[in-house]
């Protein structure tokens, strides 16, 4: 673990992550009509309303944190690979960080978030590719920015990839995270504030460090 992170209290670790989300309140969410923060809060609220456990609620809240990591050299994976590149459209519009799923999951692992939270975050792109492969209506219902990133993320899974994904012990929860993600793009919806989840995040980090 990064020595700076190792010296941080659970409260400081959560404050660092939550500040990234709070700063995104004025940041467009990859071409959608809501902010990055609104998207995160809507996803978490869907998870909480559906009775998800705390590790899963945190995954819904933080699934896109890879778009917001401030110091990309601290967000490398365990092999030292840096994922800090950007998806762009033909007119060079930024539509997100390439491999933000892996980047965000590794960033949260270093901060001590639950293993389950990180695994769910790391698979929310694969889950989109899975759902696109099994259901043409799902793909048709994706927003235009999400369709653009799907192409850049590898497109729908192949039959062999689908079978492998379905064997995952967290398969159903990973798919559900994706469904909450897709549903969390509604302009004008008021969700519980970010601080609603602060004690939950602190409590779960304390269980892992």
DSSP state letter for 195: G
Residue 29's pLDDT is: 65
Tokens 């409590």 — which residue? 203
CB 5 within 8 A of CB 71: no
- Cα–Cα distance, 156 to 130 (Å, whole number): 6
pTM (2 decimals)? Answer: 0.86
Collect all residues with Cβ–Cβ distance below 8 Å to 189 and sequence separation of at least 6: 38, 42
Whether 188 shows a pLDDT value over 70: the answer reads yes
C-alpha dihedral sign at 181, 81, 69, 92: negative
Whether 98 shows a pLDDT value over 80: the answer reads no
Of the candidates 44, 46, 42, 23, the residue with the CA atom closest to the CA atom of residue 34: 42
DSSP H or E run through 151? helix 144-152
Q: What is the mean pLDDT of residues 143-163?
A: 90
Q: How many residues appear in the chain? A: 209
Give the 3-state secondary structure of residue 153.
Answer: coil
Lowest mean pLDDT among 26-30, 46-50, 126-130, 181-185: 26-30
**Structure tokens belonging to residue 160:** 């062999």
Proportion of the chain above pLDDT 70, given as a percent: 82
C-alpha dihedral sign at 12, 14, 17, 20: negative
| CB neighbours of residue 154 within 10 Å | 12
């Amino acid at each position: 673990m990064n020595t700076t992170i190792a010296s941080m209290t659970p409260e400081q670790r959560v404050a660092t992550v939550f500040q990234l989300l709070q700063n995104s309140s004025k940041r467009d969410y990859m071409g959608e009509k809501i902010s990055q923060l609104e998207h995160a809060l809507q996803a978490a609220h869907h998870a909480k309303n559906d009775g998800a456990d705390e590790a899963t609620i945190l995954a819904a809240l933080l699934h896109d944190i890879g778009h917001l990591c401030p110091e990309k050299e601290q967000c490398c994976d365990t092999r030292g690979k840096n994922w800090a590149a950007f998806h762009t459209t033909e007119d060079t519009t930024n539509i997100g960080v390439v491999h933000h799923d892996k980047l965000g999951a590794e960033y949260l692992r270093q901060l001590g978030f639950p293993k389950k939270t990180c695994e769910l975050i790391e698979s929310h792109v694969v889950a989109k590719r899975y759902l696109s492969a099994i259901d043409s209506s799902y793909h048709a219902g994706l927003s235009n920015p999400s369709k653009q990133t799907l192409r850049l993320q590898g497109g729908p899974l192949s039959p062999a990839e689908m079978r492998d994904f379905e064997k995952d012990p967290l398969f159903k929860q990973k798919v559900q995270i994706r469904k909450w993600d897709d549903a969390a793009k509604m302009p004008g919806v008021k969700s519980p504030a970010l601080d609603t989840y602060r004690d939950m995040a602190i409590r779960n980090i304390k269980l892992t460090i």
